[in-house]
């Protein structure tokens, strides 16, 4: 019975193979990280003879198609023959999800692009390595407090640790259709009253509306502009239902109710780009990175848009302050090589690449002063766009660093969705505040 024998043999063979693979599947132990107390900046050349088996570092990158990370890999590898870099490109949402999963699981990447708003969740858990011993106060030889603005340094710190090197920064400014404002003879709004007036006139003439978005990033801008905040000073209770906060949100939501703003709900996508392209949106607020997105997705609109500081409220200008940090998971086995990659990404030349490739604002002061970054941008009618965002950074505020941030964010967003649909502002915010207070009381 040859067939029977074959089948049976296959069964046994399979069992054996399964058993073998199950036992022997573990990866070979990784190279122990070379101990280096004082890391020198990446040297230009290393003799090939000393090059041992190169370590491979995995880099997670959420920039997508306009990545500033991918273009620097080849140059880094030729400067560091003992390191191979594997970039895995993920979108923002997927990355957040996967990051949490790998942090619990152990198969961590060596370098990650980290949204600074994620740090509050991770910092207390010790998920990321403290970079201060590796940096030793310097980045590519420049003292950290000269390399970064004070606000940026503050955002990078948690307790006495530095958990990420700020790579780009994110503050919100006003994007507006200059061609339509010209056509209507309107000036760029600089105050809330003007914002409401200009948006109203645009909308009344079918020229598109101001975008209302019910997320914390956008709503927080109005809070800050009106002297309100999300949490109280010592982060122990909600503050987004204070009188100033209610006034701010009432103004913002009021623009939806009177038709001058368009409620862009997330089911139409996280980004307003389709609304820009079909003319529904003529003004919106967003970060510098959005310039890159617009150039990619709406090249035909070149010349129509400009950026300006977002209209000031009673307390002046305001914005959330965030950005992207480069961080090393605490469980990474290749921290030394990872740090070398981070330093390489933070050189002046590669920092300007953040602006050139991703359209985002680089975080290094030197890069912000460089000519490449401050060049006139033809897409925005030869405007020096970045200076607008730089100006906004001066008055921007980071989100509070608390472990419960994700839940607070969710509760506040739900309240914003409710007011967008016309529910009373005070009631909605009060209800969310009760939830947030309960979260913070633990």
Partner 1 sequence: MSSLSVPAFIRGIRKHGLAYLFIAVPVLAAIIFLLIPMVTSFWWSFNEYNGIQPPRFVGLDNYVKLITGDKIFRHALKNTTFFVFFGMLIGPTLGLLTALLLNQKVRFQALFRTAYFLPVMTSLVVVATIWRMLYNRNGLLNIGLAALGLKPIGWLSDPQWAMMSIVIASVWQGFGFEMVIFLAALQNIPKELYDAAAIDGADGRRKFWYITLPALRPVLFFVYVIGIIESYQVFDQVFVMTSGGPVYSTTTLVYYLYSRFIDLRLGYASAIAYVLFIILIIFSLIQWRFFMEKD
Partner 2 sequence: MAAHRKSLKHVTGRGLVYAVLIVSALLMALPFYWMVSSALKMEPFIFASPPQWLPDPLIWDNFIAVFTRIPFPRYLLNSVLVAVIVTVSHVFFDTLAGYAFAKFRFPGRDTIFFLLLLGLMVPFQVNLIPIYKIMSSLGWVDSYMGLIAPQLTSVFGIFLMRQFMRSIPDELLDAARIDGCNELGVFFRVVAPLALPGIATLIIFTFMGVWNDFLWPRLILSSNELYTLPLGLAQMQMRNTSNWGEVMAGTTVTALPMVIVFLLMQRQFISGMTEGAVKA
Which stretches does DSSP call E strand in 164-296? 165-170, 173-177, 209-212, 261-263, 281-286
- Write down the least CB distance from residue 95 to partner 2, Å: 9
Cα angle 286, 156, 358; round to 5: 40
- Write down the least CB distance from residue 418 to partner 1, Å: 6
Q: Which is nearer to partner 1, 51 or 125 (CB)?
A: 125
| Partner touching 94 among partner 1, partner 2, none, CB below 5 to 8 Å by kind | partner 2
Among positions 416-435, residues that touch partner 1 (CB under 8 A) are 417-418, 421, 435
Closest CA to 307 of 370, 208, 366, 379: 379
Tell me the sheet residues that pair with 329: 128
Which letter, b or e, does each residue of 77-90 get, where b requires 16 or more Cβ atoms within 10 Å of its Cβ? eeebebbbbebebb
Select from 91, 183, 268, 394 the one that contacts partner 1 (CB under 8 A).
Answer: 268
Q: Which is nearer to partner 2, 93 or 154 (CB)?
A: 93
- R_g of the chain computed on alpha carbons: 25
Q: What are the φ/ψ torsions at residue 165 (nearest 5 degrees)?
A: -100, 120
| Partner touching 277 among partner 2, partner 1, none, CB below 5 to 8 Å by kind | partner 2
For 143, the token pair is 């003292």
Taking residues 397 to 416 in sequence order and writing x for each that binds partner 1 by CB under 8 A, - otherwise, the string is ---------xx-----xx--
| Partner touching 126 among partner 2, partner 1, none, CB below 5 to 8 Å by kind | partner 1
The Cα 251–Cα 222 span in angstroms is 9
Among positions 97-126, residues that touch partner 1 (CB under 8 A) are 97, 100-101, 103-105, 121, 125-126
Contact status: 23 vs partner 1 (CB under 8 A): no
Closest CA to 238 of 397, 442, 426, 438: 438
Positions that interact with partner 1 (CB under 8 A)? 1, 4-5, 8-9, 11-12, 14-15, 18, 96-97, 100-101, 103-105, 121, 125-127, 214, 263, 265-268, 278, 406-407, 413-414, 417-418, 421, 435, 438
């Amino acid at each position: 019975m040859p067939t029977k024998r074959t089948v049976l043999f296959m069964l046994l063979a399979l069992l054996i193979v399964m058993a073998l693979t199950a036992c022997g599947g573990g990866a070979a132990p990784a190279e122990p990280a070379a101990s280096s107390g004082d890391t020198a900046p990446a040297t230009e050349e290393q003799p090939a003879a000393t090059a041992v088996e190169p370590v491979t570092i995995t880099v997670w990158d959420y920039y997508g198609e306009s990545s500033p990370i991918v273009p620097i890999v080849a140059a880094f590898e030729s400067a560091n023959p003992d390191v191979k870099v594997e970039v895995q490109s993920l979108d923002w949402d997927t990355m957040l999800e996967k990051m949490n999963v790998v942090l619990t699981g152990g198969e961590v990447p060596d370098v990650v692009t980290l949204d600074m708003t994620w740090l509050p969740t991770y910092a207390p858990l010790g998920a990321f390595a403290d970079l201060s011993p590796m940096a030793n106060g310097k980045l590519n030889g420049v003292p950290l407090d000269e390399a970064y603005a004070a606000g940026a340094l503050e955002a990078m710190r948690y307790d006495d640790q530095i958990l990420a090197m700020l790579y780009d920064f994110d503050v919100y400014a006003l994007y507006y259709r200059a061609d339509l404002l010209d056509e209507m003879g309107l000036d760029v709004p600089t105050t809330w009253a003007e914002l409401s007036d200009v948006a109203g006139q645009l909308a009344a003439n079918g020229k598109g509306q101001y975008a209302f978005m019910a997320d914390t990033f956008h709503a927080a801008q109005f809070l800050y502009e009106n002297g309100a905040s999300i949490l109280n000073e010592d982060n122990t209770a909600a503050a987004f239902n204070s009188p100033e906060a209610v006034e701010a949100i009432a103004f913002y939501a009021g623009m939806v109710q009177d038709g001058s703003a368009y409620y862009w709900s997330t089911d139409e996508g996280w980004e307003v780009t389709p609304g820009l392209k079909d003319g529904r949106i003529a003004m919106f607020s967003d970060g510098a990175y959005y310039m890159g997105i617009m150039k990619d997705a709406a090249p035909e609109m070149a010349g129509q848009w400009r950026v300006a500081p977002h209209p000031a409220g009673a307390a002046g200008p305001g914005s959330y302050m965030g950005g992207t940090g480069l961080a090393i998971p605490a469980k990474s086995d290749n921290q030394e090589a990872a740090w070398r990659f981070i330093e390489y990404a933070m050189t002046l030349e590669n920092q300007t690449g953040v602006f050139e490739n991703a359209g985002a604002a680089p975080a290094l002061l030197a890069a912000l002063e460089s000519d490449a970054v401050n060049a006139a941008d033809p897409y925005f009618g030869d405007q020096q766009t970045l200076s607008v965002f730089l100006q906004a950074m001066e008055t921007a505020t980071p989100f509070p660093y608390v472990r419960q941030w994700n839940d607070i964010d969710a509760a506040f967003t739900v309240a914003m969705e409710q007011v967008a649909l016309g529910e009373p502002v005070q009631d909605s915010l009060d209800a969310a505040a009760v939830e947030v207070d309960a979260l913070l009381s633990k």
